[in-house]
Amino acid sequence: MSEAASSETSSPEGKGSEAKGSEVTAAEVSTTKNEVAEIPLMSHLRELKKRLLIAVVAYVIGVLVLMNFSSIVFEFISAPIRDALPPNTPLIFLNAPDVFFTYLKIALVLSLFATAPITFYQFWAFVTPALYKHERKAFLAYFLASVMLMIAGAAFSFYIVFPVIFEFFLGFSTDLIQAMPAVKEYLTLVLKLLFAFGLSFQIPIVIMLLIRLGITEADSLAKQRRYVIVWAFVFAALLTPPDIISQALLAIPMLLLFEVGLFLARFSEDTSTQESA
């Protein structure tokens, strides 16, 4: 009886020691798992730091090199307004550092595009290991289409919109009132319009991405067409000079690109439906 009692008395202690042992083991396993999880995380962070450093260094070198060609670039981008001005009309600057900062701004923007292949490669090398093969193909397709549309938007604004708006506004000059545009304000206007048109030409890509990700459907977007028309003109009013001509020249292509995006999205849906069938 005493042995039984002692065994009964000692059993809770044994169970407690076993529970403590299991707790310690679970804690050790959890700690080990956390340490293992931290190793790839730190490796990824170091890889990201390396990729960012390469992209930043390339961008800075690009700015320093392209600063020497800013005057040539400005001569090219000032062609639309110089063609609209009377012959031998100069462009002026109002403050001493205006020309320097104008050239610096050109170099800063140009370097973004000139070093874009390096930046994209660093981003691609960092992201690729986490993507499946079909995801890589889709990403490349959307990226290339986005670049092409941005170039198309910038070309549309430079070769079509700029001559129209400059001819219109500078046509109000008289013998008494002559236009003498400042380089700083002109570059600001040009960059603003190039960005606005390049961004607006991304509409088909955005629509196809929204539908591909299952966020919305083509028919649902088509039903919101009247709101899209309003927002297109609001967006154009925010990103263009306060005149109806430049606003219309931005809003109308946006609406056409919206319809193109709907058409491509419906075509993609029909193609995927036929393949699944």
pLDDT of 221 above 90: no
Asked if 73 and 40 touch (Cβ cutoff 8 Å), the reply is no
Q: pLDDT digit string (tens) for 82-95?
A: 998 888 888 899 88
User: With bands split at pLDDT 50, 70 and 90, how would you rate the model's confidence at 25?
Assistant: low
pLDDT of 276 above 50: yes
Q: Check residue 274 and give its pLDDT.
A: 59
Asked if 224 and 217 touch (Cβ cutoff 8 Å), the reply is no
pLDDT of 241 above 90: no
164: Cβ contacts below 8 Å, ≥ 6 apart:
245, 249
Q: pLDDT digit string (tens) for 153-192?
A: 999 999 999 999 998 888 888 878 888 889 999 999 999 9
Residue spans of alpha helices (H) in 157-243: 162-170, 183-200, 203-212, 218-223, 225-239
pLDDT of 227 above 60: yes
Q: Give which of 243, 155, 232, 154 is closest to 199, Cα–Cα.
A: 154
User: With bands split at pLDDT 50, 70 and 90, how would you rate the model's confidence at 18?
Assistant: very low
How far apart are the C-alpha atoms of 150 and 158, rounded to whole Å?
Answer: 12
Q: Check residue 40 and give its pLDDT.
A: 74
What are the C-alpha distances in Å from 73 to residues 103, 110, 193? 9, 9, 17
User: With bands split at pLDDT 50, 70 and 90, how would you rate the model's confidence at 39?
Assistant: low
Taking CA 135 as the corner, what is the angle to CA 206 and CA 200, rounded to the nearest 5 degrees?
A: 15
Whether the model pTM is above 0.85: no
pLDDT of 110 above 80: yes
Q: Check residue 270 and give its pLDDT.
A: 65
Q: Check residue 38 and give its pLDDT.
A: 52
Asked if 161 and 253 touch (Cβ cutoff 8 Å), the reply is no
Q: pLDDT digit string (tens) for 194-205?
A: 999 999 999 999
Q: Report, as an integer, the average pLDDT of 26-32.
A: 49
Q: Check residue 12 and give its pLDDT.
A: 47
Mapped onto helix, strand or coil, the DSSP state of residue 186 is helix
How far apart are the C-alpha atoms of 158 and 81, rounded to whole Å?
Answer: 11
How far apart are the C-alpha atoms of 88 and 82, rounded to whole Å?
Answer: 9
